A and B are shown apart, each in its own frame.
Chain A
Amino acid sequence: MSTVQSDPSTMIRSNENPLIRFATGAGLIVLTYVVLYALHAFQQPRALTSYSIAALFNNTAPLALAAAGQAIIVISRGFDLSVAGVISICNVTLAVYPMDGPGGAMASVAMCLAIGGSVGLVNGYLVAVLKLQSIAATLATMIICQGIALVILKAPGGAVSEWIVYEMTDRIFSVIPVSGLVLGGVVLIWLALKRTSFGISIYAIGADETSAALSGINVTRVRFLAHVLAGCTYGLAGFMLSAQTATGNPTSGTPLLMLSFAAVALGGTALTGGRGGVFASIVGAATLILLQKVLFSSGVSSFYTGMFQGSILILAVVFSSLLARLGDTK
């Protein structure tokens, strides 16, 4: 009897199709980026100089970090709108209270992380402990944060400390962009986190919260920490945005809100939770920024950028689900 029983199931093995892994992992979005970059380099041969590459990294860093934080929340099955508010607060704080020199920069980073972390604490309390819907809770914190940003700085102005503006957008040994290092650092931290129980738990609660709880995972704690972690990442995004714009604007975070979701989706992270990654989301953000550049150098008016970005997003989602289905039937 037992031999008969095992017959049909022996076929089920973890021989995961490479096509599926490509479609669900970062492969597709990296390939998209490379193709787009080749097009960019073809149009603009100067794009291959280390100066242009650094400039591209500088432009990418704020959205990429916002997307990285957003990805953590989305993987754990949630949405975080507070990203816009955190970035705005960090930006106006740095513009109103500039602190010069490397020490000042350290203090500024710490301040941004603290701002993001605090907002994350509040989000975490509302979403994980009080079990409010994440989209409603973070909508509220976003509105509050934007209010705070306006209190700190009424209208665009102020100046971010020169050391930050100069050094954070510079290149080390005239080659390696500092902003690229920051992104690399975040990716490394995430890759390390993914190998911890916490990292595995984020994916678990995103896929099935009840089962995760019944398997002994402390869902409240994991969700709480995920929000704090995401908040810190947004703080870092606000810091990098300030370095790039050099000035303060109480609504500077708003444009990044929707794009952070677009970047996450473009990176193949399921908005229903449980699947995806931070690295893919960062590349997704980079693709959106690069697309702007390519359109600009193709002479397309910037009014059309949004239309192209949206279309690329649809194409990416359709393509990756097609690939996944193709892999499934094989």
Chain B
Amino acid sequence: MLRDQTNFSRSEMARDTFALQAIGLRKTYGATVALERGDIGLKSGEVHALLGENGAGKSTLVRILAGAVYPGSGEMFLDASPYAPRNLMEARQNHVATAFQELSLVPNLTVAQNLLLPKLPKAGPWFVSAKETKRAGEKILARHGLNRIDPQAEISKLPLADRQRIEITRALENAGRVLILDEPTASLAETDWLFERISLARDQNVAVLYISHRLAEVREICSEATVLRNGSAIASVGLAEATDSDIFEMMVGRKAAHEKTPRSTRASNDRTARLAVKKLGGHNLHNIGFELRPGEILGVAALEGQGQQWLFKMLVGLEQPTEGQIYVDDHPVKLVGPRNALKTGSGIAYLPEERKTEGILGGLSAATNIVLPVLGSASRSPLISPKLETDVAQSSADKVEMSTRYLNFAIGDLSGGNQQKALIARTLATGAKTLLLFDPSRGVDVGTKQSIYTAIRNFADKGGSVLFYSSELPEIVQLADRCMVIYGGQVVRSFAREDITEQNLVAAMLGHVTSENSTEVKA
């Protein structure tokens, strides 16, 4: 069933059947080996998935193929001729284009300028023509079904999802032979547009490399997958022949438990709600009401941009509601910021959406990042004790199964999964009884996901309350005791326990609340 990557990629006969082939790519940063043995072969007109845990070397491999990083050793062939791009433009000249996960758009330039850089249309020998730039941008957007986006809008003014679409559109425009999509759905709640674009590119005989953590997506669009583990290509496998557990096993080297664990109802209705909200409104949200009781995990499901960010920000005081009231432990409160939220009643801790910009402090150690909200407990005198700091951090790190040896690394050097674990550990370390988690497993691998789920369940089992939003429906189905669906700034539906199914959630998220399926759900 599985072919050995090394054998088939080294065979001379196979070489000319690949649009882009990499053999034995290796990249080290100082003593750290980022990529040990990168082997991959992409065929024209096929979508190939790249799978692997965080830190497996996916990003490094992508960056080498994209021309952003130069490999230490190894070879690459583009249509059987040697390919060694020194930079991104060289790759682009060879019709290899990449949409990066962290987006490579210039925030203060317009959509059209970003799409056309570095060659903006000229009026005369020197000047850039604003009119032509706009027109060319408009054409590109129209070609990719994005007419609703204004080509003259500044990138920084667009929602994250549209920025991701622009990034993908730019790659599509430049990908004559090879298209590389690094986590293209990280900020997209639905994949219809993307898959339609990928299909079109595939029909034009473009080879597509698709990197994603979401196996369901990968199965939908990709025909073959290469799995990386610890910097080495483990195997290339036809997706039709491999089961999910086969793939998990290749990725993590162990069978991953994936089924929904049955739980007893922990929440009891007679206890006071930790967090309650009545008729809350503001920032396009209206009439939001819910109660979160001790021991309960409440999920929020919504398409992108339905106001879920604002809801979480209002609940920790980063934004002020214009109407309605928040109650903590049955007392009406006015929250003025995360620190204030932490100190109010039984405490509310918040995990923000953007790990890099809102979460980690890159230069500080993982331990410091974890104990940050409770620095006082890591000190005996006015001075912080490094020993005590590590001890305090350790107890929280254990809860998310984070290895001790990472605690003294600068958090910026850790993989995304470990950064996320550290941030979850931080919210646990605060001692708050209510956690607000915004997309707790965003962009992390399967193994890390399970550790995070376990930590959340354990927290709830000990009487903690959790409100979380997730862009992944299986996550809500697996974790939530109850779930509310937000659409157009309002809670349109609520589901409990066994009614929380992907089908029900999707229907409600799209605003399709017909009398027919609501009776069906009730029944």
Contact = CB atoms under 8 A, between A and B. Distances in A.
Given A10-B148, A192-B127, A197 B120 contact: yes
Given A4-B511, A12-B157, A13-B150, A216 B117 contact: yes
B128 A210 contact: no
A307 interface: no
Q: How would you classify the secondary structure of chain A's contact residues: helix, strand, loop or mixed?
A: helix
A214 B68 contact: yes
Given A2-B193, A9-B148, A196-B128, A214 B158 contact: no
Interface in B118-133: 118-120, 126-128, 130
Contacts of B153: 12-14
A10 B150 CA distance: 9
Interface string B488-499: 100000000000
B183 to A, nearest CB: 15
Contacts of A274: 107-108
B432 to A, nearest CB: 30
Most buried by B among A9, A13, A214: A214
Contact of A14 (B68, B152, B303): B152
Interface residues of B, number: 45
Contacts of A210: 104
Interface in A202-220: 203-204, 206-208, 210-218
A39 interface: no
A204 B159 contact: no
Interface string B80-121: 000000001100100000001001111111100110011110
Interface string A200-239: 1101101110111111111000000000000000000000
A281 B207 CA distance: 50
Contacts of A206: 108
B162 interface: yes
A5 B117 contact: no
A4 to B, nearest CB: 5
B239 interface: no
B417 to A, nearest CB: 22
Contacts of B149: 9, 12
A14 B107 contact: no
B303 A207 contact: no
Contact of A215 (B114, B126, B148, B303): B114
A206 B119 CA distance: 19
B190 interface: yes
A7 B488 contact: yes
Contact of A9 (B107, B127, B161): B161
A110 B309 CA distance: 57
A274 B153 CA distance: 16
A5 B190 contact: yes
B128 A216 contact: no
Contact of A214 (B104, B130, B303): B104
Given A9-B159, A192-B127, A216 B88 contact: yes
Contacts of A8: 159, 303-306, 488
A311 interface: no
Contact of A217 (B107, B117, B305): B117
B192 interface: yes
A6 interface: yes
B304 to A, nearest CB: 8
Interface in B123-178: 126-128, 130, 145, 148-150, 152-154, 157-159, 161-162
A207 B103 CA distance: 14
A330 interface: no
Interface of A: 1-2, 4-10, 12-14, 16, 192, 195-197, 200-201, 203-204, 206-208, 210-218, 274-275
25 contacts: A1-B190, A5-B190, A5-B303, A6-B148, A8-B305, A8-B488, A9-B148, A9-B161, A10-B148, A13-B150, A13-B153, A14-B110, A14-B152, A195-B126, A196-B126, A200-B128, A203-B109, A211-B103, A213-B88, A214-B68, A214-B100, A215-B114, A215-B117, A274-B108, A275-B108
Given A5-B303, A12-B158, A208-B106, 11 more contacts: A1-B190, A2-B193, A4-B510, A4-B511, A7-B488, A200-B120, A203-B109, A204-B108, A204-B109, A216-B89, A216-B92
